Chains A and B, each alone.
Chain A
Amino acid sequence: MKTETFKEKAQTMRPMLMATALRIVGDRTEAEDLVQDALLRLWQLRDEPIRNVEAMAKVVVRHLGYDAVRRRHEQISIEEVDMMDASPSEGLDDEGERMMEIVRQLPTMQQTVLRLRHEEGMEMKEVAELIGVTEEAVRQSLSRARRKILEQYGKIKN
């Protein structure tokens, strides 16, 4: 994707992404940061064959939002009360937290696919449709992500 096309796309997507982010984190400034972060990640993916950039962007924002909310739960904050119903898998136990720590290190594409599959329990076909890539591409990304995670668990042990 060319820089210009990306810029244009980013501008048109921004309001929708803001709405998504705001619904999750409930704070405008933070939502803006999230959207910025998501767009940056999408920029890094501009050469991937993604047909539906909007859908992908939305998914990325959503996951960044959940992460932000979860992090906020770790410390006591003023806005704590706002967050009560925000995330589907908040309040993870230690095992879950360890997993998420590793997941968050994964590159955007792998992370997105893995999270859609594991956090949201989607079928491969659904993931493929949602982010606009082929099922084969999803399977590959997922496989890479899972192997990386296995590697990380091996490292923790040793």
Chain B
Amino acid sequence: MGKLRIKSLEFRDKMKEKDIHTLVARFLDGETTLEEEERLYAFFQRKDVPADLKEYQEMFRGYAAIAPKQADGKRDTKKLPLWLRVASVAAAFLVAVSLIGYTLYHYYTAKPQGDELIVQHPNPQPKEEPKMIAEVKKEVKKEVNVEAKKEVNKKVVVNVEEDATVTIEKEEEESVMVEVEEEVVPTAIYASNETTDSTYQAPSRMEEFIAKLAEYNQVEPVPLKCSQTGDSTVSIAAYIFPDTKEVDVFGRLLQAACWFDDATPGYHLNFSHLQFFFELKDKRKGLKYLWIADRINGKILLYGTHSPIGTSVSSECYQGLRDGLMHANNKVTYQL
């Protein structure tokens, strides 16, 4: 009985092999369906691929590796029976509704009463604010994830304001709801002092801010020895700040970036817990500005440059600094 069973299994494997050979041939002719192609990928993921099919294994694994990820759901849903699909949609809907409900509930009940900051706004709040908050949320979400993994380095980057409290509301599935209290509006505190055009923020104020931040923390500008400094139209300043919570360079930079409306010419802001990237253009003076901050080896390298619009600024100088810091094991050398 047992013998017979082994025999039949062998027979089935033989059949399957033949089948696979046919499929491979059809695949090479471009005649297989998507389902058949997936069958091939699955077959070649096995460890015990028969010798005469071994030659194809690496190739099909390559195809499997570039195939659309299951995460996009497109092909998964195709295979799911209808009732499961309906059920999954319904479940997702329920989760969404309960999340919204919970958030709203919390929003109305937990919001502090009567202690709102009253600030005179020179003009209506800038449009970019929701976006900023969203980005901050995203960032904080990341940070929370990192903390969850119990990583040693858990500095909170996004400190919108010293007293901005970040409350983690609820953890559900993978998403973490984070609310950044909206009372803190950096824009209001650093209102423009231009009298003619109150919406205009000179990008050079960002540079002044950085210079003051450095002065306050007694950080000297890094002497630069790159070719660009010879060009008088390109101005570069670089600082190496200590990466501490007190100095909080990332938080301050982000705060300063909030002075600028995202409709500002050349506005481009991007940041993660490792890098801050901000671009602006000053059309009145015909200058473009760029600031980059990098968290490297317990330091923060802050690099700012402005140059006439249209000139190309190579990143060589910055890269040099960056590499210098990366390879100087905590001992900072400014050799470029």
Q: A153 with B28: in contact, given A78-B277, A78-B315, A121-B74 (CB under 8 Å)?
A: no
- B51 contacts A by Cβ under 8 Å: no
How far is B31's CA from A138's CA once the two chains are assembled, in angstroms?
A: 10
Contact for B272 among A81, A120, A138, CB less than 8 A: A81
Do A99 and B63 touch (CB < 8 A)? yes
Do B66 and A100 touch (CB < 8 A)? yes
Q: A78 with B58: in contact, given A88-B68, A120-B68, A140-B30 (CB under 8 Å)?
A: no
Contact for A119 among B68, B292, B319, CB less than 8 A: B68
Do A149 and B68 touch (CB < 8 A)? no
Number of A-B contacts (CB under 8 A): 85
Do A81 and B271 touch (CB < 8 A)? yes
How far is B56's CA from A24's CA once the two chains are assembled, in angstroms?
A: 33
Q: A96 with B30: in contact, given A78-B315, A80-B275, A81-B277 (CB under 8 Å)?
A: no
The residues of A that contact B28 with a CB separation of less than 8 Å are 143, 146-147, 150
Number of interface residues of A (CB under 8 A): 37
- A47 contacts B by Cβ under 8 Å: no
The residues of A that contact B292 with a CB separation of less than 8 Å are 78
Do A95 and B58 touch (CB < 8 A)? yes
Q: A119 with B67: in contact, given A95-B58, A146-B30 (CB under 8 Å)?
A: yes
How far is B319's CA from A128's CA once the two chains are assembled, in angstroms?
A: 45
Do B34 and A121 touch (CB < 8 A)? yes
B14 vs chain A, min Cβ distance (A): 24
- B270 contacts A by Cβ under 8 Å: yes
Contact for A82 among B65, B67, B277, CB less than 8 A: B277
**A120-142 with Cβ < 8 A to chain B:** 120-121, 123-124, 138-142
Do A118 and B30 touch (CB < 8 A)? no
B132 vs chain A, min Cβ distance (A): 16
How far is B190's CA from A69's CA once the two chains are assembled, in angstroms?
A: 37
**Can you list the 10 inter-chain pairs with the closest CB atoms, starting with the nearest?**
A99-B62, A96-B65, A143-B30, A142-B30, A139-B30, A95-B65, A153-B59, A121-B68, A81-B270, A95-B61
